[in-house]
Amino acid sequence: MSYNEPFKAALPCGVRDLFLEDAAKLSKLMATWRQLFESWAYTEIIPPTYEHYDVLMAGSDADFERRIFRVLDREGNILALRPDITTQVARIVGTKLHDGSTELAEVLPLPLRFYYLANVFRFEEPQAGRQREFYQAGLELIGAPGPEADAEMVAVLIEALQQVGLRGFQINLGQMAFFRAIVAELNLSPAQVETLKGAIDRKDEVSLRKSLVEWEIDDGHAAALSELPQLCGDDEVLERAASLAPNAGARRAI
Domains of the chain: 21-163 (3.30.930.10), 176-253 (no CATH)
Residues 6+ apart with CB under 8 A from 12: 132
Mean pLDDT of the chain: 89
C-alpha closest to that of 224 among 254, 190, 189: 254
Model pTM?
0.79
Residues 6+ apart with CB under 8 A from 167: none
- The pLDDT of residue 36 is above 90: yes
Which SS3 state, helix, strand or coil, does residue 50 take?
A: strand
- The pLDDT of residue 102 is above 60: no
- Could you count the other beta carbons within 10 Å of the beta carbon of residue 117? 19
Q: How confident is the model at residue 117 (pLDDT cuts 50, 70, 90)?
A: very high
Secondary structure (DSSP) of 54-86: HHHTTT--HHHHTT--EEE-TTS-EEEE-S-SH
Q: Give me the amino acid identity at 20.
A: L
pLDDT at 66: 85
- The pLDDT of residue 93 is above 80: yes
The stretch 221-242 carries a mean pLDDT of 91
Bridge-based pairing of strands 70-72 and 50-52 is: unpaired
The stretch 212-230 carries a mean pLDDT of 94
Q: How confident is the model at residue 146 (pLDDT cuts 50, 70, 90)?
A: confident
Name the residue with higher pLDDT: 152 or 146: 152
Q: How confident is the model at residue 9 (pLDDT cuts 50, 70, 90)?
A: confident
